[in-house]
């Protein structure tokens, strides 16, 4: 199972490199609607959606993955304050750095210093979220019902 995960990650990373999505300049050019806009990221996203939609439709009908692990698809359907806030933070980070998590990891593995700074900041942000989430959960358990 770990080997399959490694191979899937390598194929994903290779796809990011081949498509140019590990280059923050390409991503920022996509976000620059008023300047020299580069639509190639939209094509990459469209390709990902075209592959993902049938795969998720198939996965929804299964209880286990092809390798036998239990199928664990997201169950949340509501749009709430936390989802919107997280989306805004993600978009701000993406627009400022030109990286999102996958391409950031790929570019940092390629030795890109800016990507390494991004990955460290991302990990710190994830750690801060986990700390705040644990505090929030603990505070909720202490409140009388």
Mean pLDDT by 10 residues, the chain (145 residues): 89 90 88 88 91 92 87 88 91 88 91 93 93 89 61
Burial class (CB in 10 A: 0-12, 13-18, 19+), 109: middle
The C-alpha angle 114, 118, 122, rounded to 5 degrees, equals 170
Q: What is the pLDDT of residue 35?
A: 87
| Residue given tokens 């997280």 in the structure block | 86
Indicate the pTM of the whole model. 0.75
Provide the sign of the torsion angle of the four alpha carbons 113, 119, 125, 128, taken in this order. Answer: negative
Q: What is the pLDDT of residue 140?
A: 78
Q: Which tokens hold the place of 56? A: 């998720």
CA gap 108, 40 in Å, rounded: 22
Q: What is the pLDDT of residue 69?
A: 86
* Domains of the chain: total: 1
User: What is the CB-side half-sphere exposure of residue 11 using CA atoms within 13 A?
Assistant: 6
Are 104 and 119 a contacting pair, CB within 8 Å?
yes
CA gap 132, 86 in Å, rounded: 14
User: What domain range includes position 131?
Assistant: 2-142
């Amino acid at each position: 199972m770990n080997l399959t995960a490694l191979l899937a990650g390598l194929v994903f990373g290779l796809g990011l490199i081949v498509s140019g999505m590990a280059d923050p300049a390409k991503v920022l050019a996509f976000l620059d609607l008023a300047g020299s806009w580069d639509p190639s990221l939209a094509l990459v996203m469209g390709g990902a959606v075209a592959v993902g939609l049938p795969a998720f439709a198939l996965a929804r009908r299964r209880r286990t993955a092809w390798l036998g692990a239990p199928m664990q698809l997201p169950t949340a359907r509501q749009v709430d304050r936390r989802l919107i806030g997280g989306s805004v933070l993600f978009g701000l980070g993406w627009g400022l750095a030109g990286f999102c998590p996958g391409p950031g990891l790929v570019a940092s593995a390629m030795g890109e210093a800016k990507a390494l700074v991004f990955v460290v900041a991302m990990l710190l942000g994830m750690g801060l979220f986990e700390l705040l989430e644990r505090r929030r959960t603990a505070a909720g358990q202490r409140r009388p019902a």
